[in-house]
Structure 1
């Protein structure tokens, strides 16, 4: 509710209250004169009672008029606010195409998949070259030899100095990333604003950090960090 509408309603209600009070006082005056006559007061004249009744009737008519005017004023104020709201809505221009946002998400997921596809191709090529050159199979980076340029094979993993390169099953890898990102989005969506927004943002960032850490460490691991 706008300040304009609130003020209009408050003013209308105040005017109605004042008019009703005036009508009640006029009616009370006529009733008091009548009661005095019933109690034997012969100083009250018919003209006084008639005038009091007439004043009460007139005051009631004025109260009715004020009430109708107040209702009309409230309607006018509300309609003015509604028209202002409609004008604001009509003037709005959507600057972001939600469809484009979906395209952006798709492109990001495609780039994510293509990254690991390219990574796997490189790892496979390196493994083929290492196999062709007779690089031995080892169990850990501690078994690497300078005679083999500190290269070694362990299943699908490639040992290169203190680094382990491994292919990524992104079909199984991506669902985990999407799960973490989905949880992050739910945290933000649950409290986009307000006092709990900062905590929701922190929770979302924690999920994002986990997804990023997994994405970065899954394909290449430094010795001492899972090698």
Structure 2
């Protein structure tokens, strides 16, 4: 048992052996009391010695089991600390990378939408310079081009409007909440409105 961790099962076994040895002593003593002359002093002495030894070994097993339990807990705590420290470092690195990717994607989205909006504004200036009125519908007199009061560009049955990237992002990311282990918009309608606005880019009108 020197190299093996002593467990509760070992303790139970040692205690059972001690109880059996003690029961043997009691049985021999009772036999002597009842007049059984076949029981010798040597037998009684031997059984008492064995019982004493079994009792001591049970006590030793209990102490060893407790020491091993404490040692196992210490080792488990140390292992857990290493696990936590290692995992935390890895998690921090991964989350930092993911957050940077989100940041880069957001910035790319904003840059692209700003470029789109700038192009729409430029088209509006060119249309006005060419005398296209703000009628809110295409003008047959101006080759099917048109302008709306809010700056939408009309080309035939195609309508192009400014996007305002930060506004789109605000619709989606302003409020989030956890649901079923996933992060979802607190107001799904805001998300739908954002994607609907993007989907309307260059939409054909009847």
Cα gap change, 1:215 to 1:71, in 2 (>3 Å): farther
Aligned residues: 195
Cα gap change, 1:170 to 1:86, in 2 (>3 Å): closer
Q: Using the TM superposition, give the Cα deviation of residue 87 of structure 1 relative to its aligned residue in structure 2, in angstroms.
A: 6.2
Q: Of residues 136, 153, 157 in structure 1, which corresponds to 2:147?
A: 153
**Secondary structure at 1:96 match in 2:** helix
More helix by share: 1
Q: Of residues 106, 109, 122 in structure 1, which corresponds to 2:106?
A: 109
Q: Does the CA contact (< 8 Å) of 2:147 and 2:154 recur in 1?
A: yes
In structure 2, runs of 5+ residues without a counterpart are: none
TM-score by length of 1: 0.64
In structure 1, runs of 5+ residues without a counterpart are: 1-7, 192-199
Q: Using the TM superposition, give the Cα deviation of residue 29 of structure 1 relative to its aligned residue in structure 2, in angstroms.
A: 1.1
Distance 2:99 2:41 in 1: 86
Q: Of residues 5, 9, 18 in structure 2, which corresponds to 1:14?
A: 9
The residue number in structure 1 matching 2:119 is: 122
The residue number in structure 2 matching 1:61 is: 56
Q: Using the TM superposition, give the Cα deviation of residue 163 of structure 1 relative to its aligned residue in structure 2, in angstroms.
A: 1.5
CA offsets 1:19-38 (integer angstroms, 9 cap, x no match): 11110001111122333445
Q: Using the TM superposition, give the Cα deviation of residue 144 of structure 1 relative to its aligned residue in structure 2, in angstroms.
A: 4.2
Q: Does the CA contact (< 8 Å) of 2:139 and 2:146 recur in 1?
A: yes
The residue number in structure 2 matching 1:51 is: 46
Q: Does the CA contact (< 8 Å) of 2:7 and 2:65 recur in 1?
A: yes
Q: Using the TM superposition, give the Cα deviation of residue 59 of structure 1 relative to its aligned residue in structure 2, in angstroms.
A: 0.7
Distance 1:108 1:164 in 2: 27
> In the TM superposition, what are the counterparts of 1:1-227 in structure 2 within 5 Å?
12-38=7-33, 40-43=34-37, 44-79=39-74, 94=90, 96=93, 98-99=95-96, 101-140=98-137, 144-145=139-140, 147-156=141-150, 157-179=152-174, 182=176, 186=178, 191=181, 200=182, 210=192, 213-214=195-196, 216-217=198-199, 220-224=201-205
**Secondary structure at 1:136 match in 2:** coil
TM-score by length of 2: 0.70
**Secondary structure at 1:164 match in 2:** strand
Distance 1:87 1:110 in 2: 37
Distance 1:21 1:63 in 2: 9
Distance 2:156 2:142 in 1: 10
Q: Does the CA contact (< 8 Å) of 2:163 and 2:198 recur in 1?
A: no
Distance 1:121 1:87 in 2: 53
**Secondary structure at 2:133 match in 1:** coil
